[in-house]
Amino acid sequence: MTRLLPLFLLVGCSKGPLSGTWLYADSTIVSDSCQLLDDGDLLVGDFYLWNQGDGTMVIDPNDGSEIFTCTLEKGAFSCPDRLQDEQTQGQTTLSAVVAAEGAFDGREDAAGSQLGTVTCDGPGCQALEEAYGQSFPCTAEIEFTATWTSPTLPEEQ
One digit per residue, pLDDT tens: the chain, 157 residues?
333 333 333 333 457 899 999 999 988 999 999 988 887 778 899 999 999 999 999 999 998 899 999 999 999 999 998 999 999 999 999 999 999 999 999 999 999 999 999 999 999 999 999 998 889 999 999 999 999 999 999 875 4
pTM of the prediction? 0.82
Instruction: Confirm if 49 and 77 have CB atoms less than 8 A apart.
Output: no
**Distance in angstroms (rounded) separating the CA atoms of residues 29 and 157:** 32
Instruction: Confirm if 3 and 10 have CB atoms less than 8 A apart.
Output: no
At 33, give phi and psi (nearest 5°).
-75, -10
**Closest Cα partner for 74 from 21, 32, 16?**
16
